[in-house]
Every structure is written in structure tokens, then in C-alpha cells.
Amino acid sequence: MKIVKKLYLYAILLILIVLTVIIAPKNNFLFNNSAIFVTKDGDKLLEEIKASTKEYNEEPQDAYIDRVWKKTPARNGRKVNIKKSYDNMKKQGSFDASMLVFDEVKPSVSLKDLPASPIYRGHPEKEMVSLLINVSWGTEYIPGILKILKNENVKATFFIEGKWAKENKDIVKMIHEENHVIGNHGYNHPDMAEMSSNEIREQIEQTNDIIEAIIDVKPKWFAPPSGSFNENVVNIAHELDMETILWTVDTIDWKNPSVSVMINRVINNIHPGATILMHPTEPVAQGLAPLIQEIKQKDLSIGTIESLLNENR
């Protein structure tokens, strides 16, 4: 009885398959991203969207170590989502590239897959820059800087010295509560290229412990004081699951330039993926708002080091 029942079910299934084959030519079945949708034969809009994939699809780019710029983050590719793009355009019935919907395609190699190496910039095709604010002095300017960042809806990365953090816990908390990223800037601003392995490790770990005790977050990013480092510094940071961050554009605010000179210096050297070094100084406190506005006018977004270095387009 069970065998007869199974044969009966197989017969029904076979009939359904035959009917599908017979009926299928009358419709256009499109498979895309695990979804199926049906359109009429000769759908011009659908064909235009399909054809657009050659122009608009982009392969992902793996993270790599550049000869000059060292560790460089990956960048997601993109693939036209044909179904969603079709749904977007079918009401107006004509192709519009601005209404294409994309899925991002992950790369094979990420930053975490690369060996120890410093990072100077984001991906050179990413239309974003990052403000790196190194803090070991200039306490009086930080509240004003935070207010400007809030007014401009910009998030920055503050690399904080451990000794300063211990003496200014409330300001560290304030920076964290404003959703800025906090990184490690050593304990007392030494020349880390001249230190022993034990001293380097102590500078980084002591500062991590202090910052984590204040905000309950362990820093993932390390900026060597004065940009002084060697291979040993980078390797030890890597062993501590941290990335060593340098910069590509320097405000040289510590030389006390005029606001216009500082802004021109940045704008003349800015580029996609740029990391912009600054400190809590009077020129930055006075010039940060117009600097941010100038950067935005170049159609560059401003994000934290985490946003700059992630694989998102």
C-alpha cells in the first residue's frame, strides 16, 4: 500500500514538472538572490536592467600591503540586485540608473588577514576621510571641539594618552558618550622607536587598562606619539590585536598657524581615504567648523577610523 501511495505521488510530481515545462516558455522566470519573479516575454525594462550589470557591477578589492602606504583596507564590490531594481522602476516603466539597487560583495582578504604593518590611509577609492585627534594636552579646547563635532554631525577618533586619561576621566567619558572612537596614544608620550620591547608593551597595555577602566571598552587602534615607531612597535601592537595608525594629512596645528593657513593646508592635500592629524589646539578650536564644511563641499564624508577602514563602500 505504501509503495502504491509513493508511486501515486511521483506520478503527480511528474505531471507537474511536465506542465511547468509546457507553460514556462510563455513567461520569463528570473532567478536573482534566491528570489524568483515572473515577467512577460520581451520586457524592455528588465532587459535594460540586466544589461546594466556589465557597467555597474564591480568586483571586490582585497586588502593588501602597499609598498609606500603599507596596510590598505579592502573594499566591497557591488552587484545589481535585478529583482529589487526592477521593482523600483516598474511603476515608471523606464530605466533609471539612479534607481538601481545593489548588493555589496565581500572581498576574500580583509585587514585582519594581513601581517603586522602600519596603516596610513583608508581605501583610495573610498569617498571618506577621518579626523584623528591626538590628545596629551590642550584639555581646555576639548569641550568646544566636541560641541563643533556635534553641531556638524561628525564623529572623530581621539587617540588619548594614558596619563592624561587618568587625570581627565570625565572628559574621556564625555568623548565616549558622544560616540567618538577612543584609541591609544601611549602612556606618557615617549619616543617609542627608542624603547625596549618591554617598555613598548607597558606603554600600550597600561594605557589600554586605564581607558578600559573608564569607558569599559578596550582600544583597538594605536597611534604612536609624534608618529615615531619602528617594526618592533608595530609588531607588539599587532600581538595585542591592535592596528598602528599614522596619517596622510597633517594640520601642523601645534605650530599655531592661522585658521586659513591650516584649512588651506588640509584642503590642498586631502584625498579619498585621507587621515587628517590634529590636536586640541587653538587653531583647531577656531577652524574646525569651517574645515569640516570645506571637506563636505568636496563630497567627502567624514567618519571614524573604524568607518574609514571597514570594507563598506
| pLDDT values of the chain reduced to their tens digit, one per residue, 313 residues | 545 455 555 556 555 554 554 444 444 444 444 444 455 556 999 999 999 999 999 999 999 999 999 999 999 999 999 999 999 999 999 999 999 999 999 999 999 999 999 999 999 999 999 999 999 999 999 999 999 999 999 999 999 999 999 999 999 999 999 999 999 999 999 999 999 999 999 999 999 999 999 999 999 999 999 999 999 999 999 999 999 999 999 999 999 999 999 999 999 999 999 999 999 999 999 999 999 999 999 999 999 999 999 999 9
Q: Which of 113, 148, 177 is the last residue of a domain?
A: 113
- The percent of the chain in helix, strand and coil, each rounded to the nearest 5, is 50, 20, 35
Q: How far apart are CA 184 and CA 244, in angstroms?
A: 10
Same domain, 18 and 42: yes
Q: Is there a domain that residue 84 lies in?
A: yes
Structural domains of the chain, count: 2
Half-sphere exposure of 313 (CA within 13 A, CB side): 15
Q: Is 27 domain-assigned?
A: yes
Q: What is the CATH number of the domain that holds 140?
A: 3.20.20.370
For residue 6, the model assigns a pLDDT of 53
Asked if residue 119 is part of any domain, the answer here is: no
Residue 142: how many other CB atoms lie within 10 Å: 19
Whether residue 278 sits in one domain with residue 206: yes
Q: Residue 238 falls within a domain, yes or no?
A: yes
- My answer on whether 244 and 270 are in the same domain is yes
Q: Are residues 62 and 85 in the same domain?
A: yes
Regarding whether 81 and 225 lie in a shared domain, the answer is no
Q: What angle is formed at CA 237 by the lines to CA 234 and CA 241, rounded to 5 degrees?
A: 130
H helix or E strand, kind and range, residue 13: helix 2-23
Q: Tell me which residue of 68, 158, 76 sits closest to 109, measured CA to CA.
A: 76
C-alpha span between 110 and 62 (Å, rounded): 6
Q: Are residues 60 and 136 in the same domain?
A: no
pLDDT score at 36: 45
By residue range, what is the domain housing residue 211? 128-309
DSSP annotation of 275: E
Q: Take residue 217 and report the three cell numbers written for it.
A: 571598552
- pLDDT value at residue 3: 52
Per-residue model confidence (pLDDT) at position 155: 98
One-letter amino acid of 73: P
- What is the spatial distance between Cα 171 and Cα 175, in angstroms, rounded to a whole number? 6
Of all helices (H) and strands (E), which one includes residue 181?
strand 181-184
Q: Are strands 128-135 and 102-105 parallel, antiparallel or unpaired?
A: unpaired
Q: Which residue, of 88, 113, 138, is where some domain finishes?
A: 113
- Residue 152 inside a domain? The answer is yes
Residue 123 lies in a domain: no
pTM, to two decimals: 0.84
φ/ψ of 122, rounded to 5, equals: -85, -175
At 236 the pLDDT is: 98
